[in-house]
Amino acid sequence: MPQTILLVGAGKSTAYLLQYLLKRGAAGEIRLIVADQTASQLPITSDQRAYCDCVDLDIFQTEDRQKLIQKATVVVSMLPARMHILVAQDCLHYGKHLVTASYVSKELRELDQEVKKKGLVFMNEVGLDPGIDHMSAMQVIDRIRSQGGKMLLFESFTGGLVAPINDNNLWHYKFSWNPRNVVVAGQGGAAKFLQEGTYKYIPYHKLFRRTEFLEIDGYGRFEVYANRDSLSYQEAYGLRDVLTLFRGTMRRVGFSKAWNIFIQLGMTDDSYQIENSEGMTYRDYVNLFLPYSPTDSVELKLRHYLKIDQDDILWDKLLELDLFSIQKTVRRANCTPAQALQEILERSWTLEPDEKDMIAMYHKFGFELNGEKRQIDAHMVVLGKDQRYTAMAKTVGLPAAMVAMHILEGRIKTPGVQIPLAQEVYDPVLTELADHGIVFTEKEVPYLGYNLEGVGI
């Protein structure tokens, strides 16, 4: 009888994950259980139900959750990150392996010794970023070290974007993952990184005006803003002596300058509620953040407040979102400014059924080998198929599915709460991802040290 994989959570990022595991089920390699609030509504055919059970589950119903976990050998949790701990504690209690695509939380880290004692693998951060970024970076870093090289510089950038064929708005952007994470990106402290041996910090209110630029052959120019904490990767990647360590998020050029408008107005604030927000027009929402004037219009006040000329492309970007509409209204009651902004943006930035997204990832590896400073740049671009089978779902879901299978097959054995930095994980996963069109292209370029093309970094 085949062993069982339990998938808990079947949201946007699981289309390819589910497809992959269903194929393994059809081949008689596994039995699959899919548990979600609306699992019974998933497009699972009658033939597939011979090896796949779909179970509606409220994750907070302890008895129901534990009954399902007891049936599994490996559990893949694609729940929101804060809920993983519920599943992890059950997996530990019942002796089940666990896979997640989320950052390792403090609560999960605290289970490490008990997980090791039971010989279990709790593999986390096996999606896109985090995930493919770890594996692709460590493969090259380990190769450089095996040749006797010393790492001097590591930069890594990832972006979830709209495919060029559907790049039809002035922001050159649409949502392909959790919109909330986009709206609140960069909050919670200064961005921290290392530049030529010096620690650098960028406060949130300056984050989107401190960008650097890069080019991907065939796809044009992009800008990058710093992620919140690049320094945590020093220890994880074994880069304690590196001079430059910088991780960032990619967008098309011009996005960050326009996004900074929302930050300066206070629209990304998630710390307080707006009274009577339900039914508020977009125009009234914008006016909340502007000075009172008995004569000036909302448009005029905003342009004066932020010094935006009427013929500036920034102004056209705001108009494109219908920010001054008196017909469109906020639907959510007592929402925060960030929640209202998210609702407004989702109306404009949601992929249409036949539209495609794009994932881009770019690494820079600076190193010294035989007394010579060298640099390797590597990039990956993946295009989605449509609104369901997105590049985001492919690059998040496939690595998680593959790791689950490799654990099941005994190819990943090292126990503990971990992330995919070991060769036993990254080599087979990256090889298999290449079969699905997820491939990195490498080129050697002159070593320039830190890229000083950016504004103010």
Q: Output the pLDDT for position 457.
A: 34
Q: What are the DSSP E strand ranges found in 124-237?
A: 150-162, 191-195, 198-202, 211-216, 220-226
Backbone phi, psi, residue 368, to 5°: -115, 130
Q: Using the CB atoms, write b or e for 43-61: b if 16+ within 10 Å.
A: ebeeebeebbbbbebebee
Q: Output the pLDDT for position 451.
A: 53
Q: Please state, in angstroms and rounded to a whole number, the distance separating the CA atoms of residues 389 and 72.
A: 27
Q: Please state, in angstroms and rounded to a whole number, the distance separating the CA atoms of residues 135 and 420.
A: 6
Output the CA torsion sign for 133, 134, 137, 140: negative
In sequence order, what are the residues at sequence separation of 6 or more whose Cβ sits closer than 8 angstroms to the Cβ of residue 182? 175, 345
Q: 53 forms bridges with which residues in the sheet?
A: 33
H/E run at residue 367: strand 357-369
Q: Output the pLDDT for position 456.
A: 34
DSSP 3-state of 400: helix
Q: Is the separation of the CB atoms in 23 and 13 below 8 Å?
A: no
Q: What's the chain's average pLDDT?
A: 95
DSSP tag of 31 = E
**Structure tokens given for 126:** 């096996």
User: Would you put residue 186 in left (φ > 0), alpha (ψ -120 to 50) or beta?
Assistant: left
What domains appear along the chain, each with residue ranges and CATH number? 3-124 (3.40.50.720), 129-280+330-391+438-457 (3.30.360.10)
Q: Please state, in angstroms and rounded to a whole number, the distance separating the CA atoms of residues 14 and 12.
A: 6
Q: Please state, in angstroms and rounded to a whole number, the distance separating the CA atoms of residues 233 and 246.
A: 9
Q: Please state, in angstroms and rounded to a whole number, the distance separating the CA atoms of residues 70 and 132.
A: 30
Q: Please state, in angstroms and rounded to a whole number, the distance separating the CA atoms of residues 105 and 101.
A: 12
Q: Using the CB atoms, write b or e for 394-415: b if 16+ within 10 Å.
A: bbbbbbbbbbbbbbbeeebeeb
Q: Please state, in angstroms and rounded to a whole number, the distance separating the CA atoms of residues 23 and 43.
A: 14
Beta-strand relationship, 357-369 and 150-162 = antiparallel
Q: 251 forms bridges with which residues in the sheet?
A: 223
Q: Is the separation of the CB atoms in 152 and 366 below 8 Å?
A: yes
Q: pTM value?
A: 0.93
Q: Please state, in angstroms and rounded to a whole number, the distance separating the CA atoms of residues 264 and 369.
A: 46
Q: What are 30-40's pLDDT values in tens digits?
A: 999 999 999 98
H/E run at residue 227: none
Q: Which parts of the chain sit beneath pLDDT 50?
A: 452-457
